[in-house]
Structure 1
Amino acid sequence: MKTIELFCGIGGFRLACDQLFFRTVWANDINHLSCRVYADAFGTTGLYEGDIRELHSTIPSHDLLTAGFPCQPFSSAGKKMGTRDPRGTLFQEIVKILGSQSPTFFVLENVKRLLSMENGDHFATILSALSELDYFVEWRLLNATHFGLAQNRERLVIVGTRISDFSESKITLAPLLDLGSISGHYIDILKDYHSWRVLDHHKKRFPTWGVAYKGKCCTSDIDHFSEATPKPSLKDFLDSQPNESFFMDETTIIRLRDSVYVDKMVDGVRVLYNQNGGARMGYTVFGIDGVAPALTASHSRHYERYKIGDRYRRLTNTEYARLQGFPDNHCKIASIFDQYALYGNAVPPPLAQWAINRLINAEGIMVEDIEFPKKAQMLLFA
């Protein structure tokens, strides 16, 4: 299977596709350092550095499009007050490529808040744009902890199957065991496209799972993840002999003495101390018996501290790689400082691999082919 990777960064989707023995024929990012890391890891063949809006003619035919697309503010569309439209944004480049190239599948990744931005109008516009291209669209909110990574990183995965090309487009991101809390009546609705809600009649926050096609959707909040690996622990991801430069200096330790001891679990993260009991990250100290908070591309977040034994330090660049599911030396050509942002902005390969594998290989719940060119089968359920 031939794949392309838009906004490739350091190659989270590429690693996932390599594990599945797919062939990546094209990749692009505008960031020079990201492209250097990508080239060091995978070679330069098919890699294009630059503005994607100027590179459409270089994109070869492919079966699967992947993208961890930038979530920038949408421009005002003028259709109705408060609505945003992806025209003129980088998401629209995805729509253009899907429209012109018509790959059988796509997998997109973004942040959790996409479900509620602009009171849901932002995500409704995205779903409408994708499903109007004759793709059966499904989404699910996933967490890196589901895939053995000790990081509380919630990410939205959106997948699509082109109905006209694939006779068994299916619900895949929610295995059947994950539907245990949903009534049989709801399953009947799920299978009947006529019973779906009009996409424009959405709430201020879209649920954590759903399917959409041609202006209609069926959604539900699903918390259970039946395929989760055993709960990971941050202590299992730590360097055995980190450099002394990662440890707290005396000035920082003095600041710590003015912090408040809270010792509580927050979304699986052990918070030991913070300033005045608040959430100012510069003075927060975490434990290692839980998971790490979500790693980010922000340079300020590298200085969160962890109590390890009787000492305090920040996470190393190698630990960032492990918590994101990358090889230890994946970003070796970049400075230690830059590696934090590179890893923090990446798609975790284990999460991406699960979604791609489910989309292409899993069996799923069938939707009756009342208004579909062919049967549609839900994939995120199995």
Structure 2
Amino acid sequence: MPSKQIANFNSSDNKPRILSLFSGCGGLDLGFHQAGYETVWANDFSHWACESFRKNIGDVIVEGDIEQIDPNDPTIPDCDIILGGFPCQDFSMIWKQPGLEGERGNLYKSFLRFVNAKKPKVFVAENVKGLLTANKKKAIQQIITDFENCGYYVQAKLYNFAEFGVPQFRERVLIVGVRLDTGFDFHHPEPTHNETGENGLKPYVTAGQAISNIPKNASNNELLKISEQTRKRLELIPEGGNYSDIPKEHPLYVKSMLSLVYRRMHRNRPSTTIIAAGGGGTWGYHFPEPRAFTNRERARLQSFPDDFEFVGSTTEVRRQIGNAVPPQGVVELARTLLPIFSGNYKKVDLHKKLKAEKDVLFHDRLSKIRGGKR
């Protein structure tokens, strides 16, 4: 049972040690901490994200360019697991995606350098859904092959975090690599939530449930000023609707190709995906109140607890929240991995299993990554 597994790691001396890369404000780390792990070293390039990480996760983060950091530096401790969400903008499906050819598309190789140098028992890398189609599907194939060549059995899976208790429809790819000599037969966890709460699962956590009863003194909860025109535009949009619900003949109608523009929440459903940046109309909007979400509401929709205090300007905090991995979305994965650190599992021949995987056409492997209906 997960609770018993967590109990095996209830002291700092025997908690699995995380080395965290592209850490951001620490959402991925927080989810693993909630399952009994501990971060011993972290890195990010963003000053304000590092400040938020330091305030909430721990004073173990190094601010700087990962491409300039040597993973063999003696000040970087050994670890049991490496976590990280290498930059995803070059794989995003919202904007035109250059993929591996983009300025940041090859930063996964820095993640690869650390894995190759530290040889953790397992690694977890997170990225956007667009990674699966970038460079005509060659990007994901190249990334998996590179990690396999480091001595890991790699399984990727497309998650919808609403299916793991996050009050938000958010699809992300999680790539998990298990070191071949461990013999740990990892399988991605099954969803814990669904729309109806049937078949032994819990019902989705809705946006209305998530943002109710926020304390008046909660941090990062300032209202964003919006124009009178925006307020009037929101009043024309129904619950769960967006800009397209405004009649074309109306003077406040706006043209857009993005469904997220002036998207208002539906109280009885998980939120649509929270994003990190964007111009007018992309903040995400409350219902029934004609206003933008506060950053604390956005944080709740990302499953951050109220005592997680973000550091920086309103725009900067929005960026940190939108870029983060929702902590609740990875808790079940973190629990699933715990036996590899306690040794309490039956070993399998991962070398043989990897050879069998490589004999399968990558197109068929990709269909497994996408899973069933999401």
Matched position secondary structure for 1:161:
strand
Instruction: Please list, as runs of the form range in 1=range in 2, the aligned pairs for 1:94-105 lying within 5 A after superposition.
Output: 94-105=111-122
**Structure (1/2) with the larger strand percentage:** 1
Q: How does 1:9-20 map to 2 (within 5 A)?
A: 9-20=24-35
Match of 2:204 in 1: 231
Separation in structure 2 between the aligned mates of residue 13 and residue 262 of structure 1, nearest angstrom: 34
Corresponding position of 1:191: none
State how far apart, in whole Å, the 1-side matches of 2:191 and 2:302 are: 27
Cα shift readout 1:344-367 (whole Å, capped 9, x = no counterpart): 100111122222221333899997
Instruction: Find out whether 1:371 has 2:352 as its counterpart.
Output: yes
1:351 aligns with 2:315: no
Matched, 1:133 2:150: yes
Counterparts of 1:375 and 1:115, CA distance in 2:
22
Aligned equivalents of 1:304 and 1:355: distance in 2? Answer: 28
SS of 1:340 mapped into structure 2: helix
Q: Are 2:46 and 1:31 aligned?
A: yes
Identity of aligned residues (%): 28
Instruction: Read off the aligned partner of 2:20 and give its amino acid letter.
Output: E
Q: Paired residue for 2:180?
A: 163
Structure 1, residues 277-328: CA drift from partner, whole Å, max 9, x if none? 76464444343222211011114365332322xx312111111111112122
- Structure 2 gap ranges (5+): 1-15, 92-97, 249-255, 358-368
Tell me, yes or no, if structure 1 residue 271 matches structure 2 residue 241. Answer: yes
Task: Measure how far apart 1:19 and its partner are.
Answer: 1.8
Q: Distance in 2 between matches of 1:66 and 1:307?
A: 36
The equivalent position to 2:86 in structure 1, one of 55, 64, 69, is: 69
Q: Which residue of 1 aligns with 2:268?
A: 289
* Residues 1:146 and 2:163 are matched in the alignment: yes
Determine the C-alpha separation between the residues in 2 that align with 1:118 and 1:364.
38
2:65 to 32, 42, 51: 51
Q: Distance in 2 between matches of 1:364 and 1:141?
A: 25
Structure 2 counterpart of 1:52, one-letter code: I
SS in 1 for 2:274: coil
Q: 2:270 aligned with 1:253, yes or no?
A: no
Residue correspondence of structure 1 range 73-84 to structure 2 within 5 A: 73=90
Residues 232-280 of structure 1 show CA distances to partners (whole Å, capped at 9, x for unaligned) of 11111224477784586532233346x5x677xxxxxx22653457646
TM-score for both structures, normalised by structure 2: 0.72
User: How many angstroms apart in 1 are the aligned matches of 2:305 and 2:77?
Assistant: 29
Matched, 1:40 2:10: no
1:115 aligns with 2:144: no
Residues 88-138 of structure 1: CA deviation (Å, up to 9, x unaligned): 921101111111211110011110111111121010000100111110111
User: Per the alignment, do residues 357 and 227 of structure 1 end up closer, same or farther by CA in structure 2, a change over 3 Å counting?
Assistant: farther
Question: How many matched pairs?
Answer: 313
Q: Is the 8 A contact 2:222 2:294 kept in 1?
A: no
- Mapped partners of 2:187, 2:274: distance in 1: 27
Could you tell me which amino acid in structure 2 is paired with residue 271 of structure 1? G
Q: Distance in 2 between matches of 1:366 and 1:226?
A: 31
Structure 1 partner of 2:277: 298
1:40 deviates by 1.2
CA contact (8 A) 2:234 2:291 kept: no
| Structure 1 residues 94 and 248: CA distance shift in structure 2, 3 A | closer
CA contact (8 A) 1:163 1:374 kept: no
The structure-2 alpha-carbon separation of the partners of 1:119 and 1:19, relative to structure 1 and needing over 3 Å to count, comes to same
Structure 1 length-normalised TM: 0.70
SS in 2 for 1:160: strand
Aligned alpha-carbon RMSD (Å): 3.8
In structure 2, distance between residues paired with 1:138 and 1:226: 26
Secondary structure at the counterpart of residue 321 of structure 2:
helix
Q: Structure 1's 345 and 312: CA in aligned 2 closer, same or farther, altered over 3 A?
A: same
Residue 19 and residue 340 in structure 1: after superposition, are their counterparts in 2 closer, same or farther (change >3 A)? same
Structure 1 residues 352, 27: CA separation in 2 closer, same or farther (over 3 Å shift)? same
| 1:325 corresponding residue in structure 2 | 303
